[in-house]
Amino acid sequence: MKKFNVVAASAVALSAALASGSALAHGTLAVTTANYNAADVAAAAGTITVPWGGVAAAVYTVSNNGVLSTSLEVNSRFTVTLPTGFTFASSPSLTTGGTDPGLTSTALISGGIGSQTATFLIGSPAPGNAPLPVGGTLALNQVSVSGATALETPGAALQITVQSTNNAEVTNNDAAPVFPTNGTPPALALTSDSGVQASFLGGGGNIDLTPPSLGTLFDIGIDTATIDLGTVTLTPSGSLAASGSTAVVSTTDTVSLSINGFFNGITTVFTTSTPGTCAAPTNKVVGTATGTSLTVPAAVGLTSDLCITASGKTLLQQNVPVAGGFTAAYAPGAGVTDFVGANVTNTTDAISYTGGNPISVTNFLTGSDAGYTSLVRFSNGSSSTDTLFAVAEPYTGGPQLVGSLGTIGAGEGTVFTEAQIGTATGLTLANSGQRATLTIIAIPGGANVTASGLLVNPGGVVDNVN
């Protein structure tokens, strides 16, 4: 019974060691990451060359199992496992090294081409029929791999594993597949990026609310119709092509650029490949400007300065994003496969009003009939006289209508009728079914300068209208 208890206790200890997953593992795996250009991998339909033994590496080193000296025995097995979905497209091989390089041979005996795994026989054939001792290494050699579609998406992060098994001495086995352990956090075997690193810098300006432009032009020290919105630059990341060599991102690639924002009054957007040359652009490409977006479908080269031009006839809109400046979406132009598109934000870029205070009064300014009358109440609670301009936008469309409402003294208030606003701006609202949006620009304006819309109903009831 005592002998039985000793054997049982040993079995329990061995089971516990195996359950730990690392108690019997004696080998370590170190990798140098192979980082791929996702666009190039996609163009190669997911077939890649992994340059192990070159700019990338995957090396297993035999180490002691605690206080026990270990080795990879002759006729033991060594298995390499690729990420899920990946298969070998050429025959994999190993190079031995370390304390006694060349004394231990390896031979592929199963898996390999068409398989996710490759299993090697250690110490065969002769004359390399010696075990691989502590300090000995097994390095993966360059190999072709298919099914690497996970690398077609930037940001992929994948590992390989290796495992020594079938040793006569169980302490020579790896109890579980061995993952890379070098680095903090551990290095990854295979990764991917977009092929470029993007920046969006500089640009921006102010909208001049003072006469005579009244918010229809930009202020860069002088009134101007055109300003620089910033420069988008794409820099090759140095990632690998599917072939395993450094990917090439051509400086003559075309790039699609688009920005969302508030662009009322902008008639033209164009790019120049030399920053700061909106006035005399190089490789000029004209895009499309709408009230909410700017698009240039085929900017030339990896550096694009975005320029916008105002009509000089319409009140421009502020762009002061809460979370930073403009965000540009960039993508490869037609036929370009060198990189994957993404977004880049210019954190300091903005277009703001200067020289006055625009007040959104109402989007329900109506004509007068059937006892309904629209009024605008204005109050100047500041300590200075304000100059007022009305900006009307009819529901029917067309250009903004701008006109002077005169001045109002400090601490004073007044009420403007729809007829007075019509006289100032040229706005015609024949009846209550015709409507417009109204903004008042107060110069210099301030926190205590306010305006609101009023609607007088039949019977003299007055409602606030926003």
Summarised one tens digit per residue, pLDDT across range 175-226 is: 999 999 999 999 999 999 999 999 999 888 899 988 888 889 999 888 999 9
Sheet holding 266-272, edge to edge: 196-201, 226-236, 303-310, 266-272, 285-286
Is it true that 24-192 and 357-465 share their CATH fold?
Answer: no
For the domain spanning 357-465, the CATH number is 2.60.290
What are the residue ranges spanned by the domains of the chain?
Answer: 24-192, 196-354, 357-465
Alpha-carbon distance values, 337 to 39, 81, 241, 330 (Å): 6, 30, 11, 13
112-121, 326-335, 362-371: least confidently modelled range: 362-371
pLDDT confidence band for 362 (50 / 70 / 90): confident
Residue, of 143 and 362, whose pLDDT is higher: 143
For the domain spanning 24-192, the CATH number is 2.60.40
β-strands 293-300, 288-289 pairing: antiparallel
Average pLDDT over residues 236-245: 98
Residue 333: per-residue pLDDT: 95
| pLDDT tens-digit readout, 296-323 | 999 999 999 999 999 998 888 888 776 5
φ, ψ dihedrals at 359, nearest 5°: -120, 120
| pLDDT tens-digit readout, 35-60 | 999 999 999 999 999 999 999 999 99
User: How many Å apart are CA 270 and CA 260, to the nearest integer?
Assistant: 15
Block residue for tokens 């132009």: 333
Whether pLDDT at 368 is above 60: yes
Q: Quote the DSSP letter at residue 349.
A: -
User: How many Å apart are CA 233 and CA 230, to the nearest integer?
Assistant: 10
Whether pLDDT at 433 is above 50: yes
Average pLDDT over residues 18-28: 52
Interior angle at CA 460, CA 454 and CA 463, nearest 5: 30
The dihedral region occupied by 386, where left means phi > 0, alpha psi between -120 and 50, and beta the remainder, is: beta
φ, ψ dihedrals at 19, nearest 5°: -65, -25
Q: Please say whether the beta carbons of 66 and 260 come within 8 A.
A: no
Q: Which class would CATH give 196-354?
A: mainly beta
Q: Please say whether the beta carbons of 139 and 80 come within 8 A.
A: no
pLDDT confidence band for 109 (50 / 70 / 90): very high
φ, ψ dihedrals at 152, nearest 5°: -80, -10
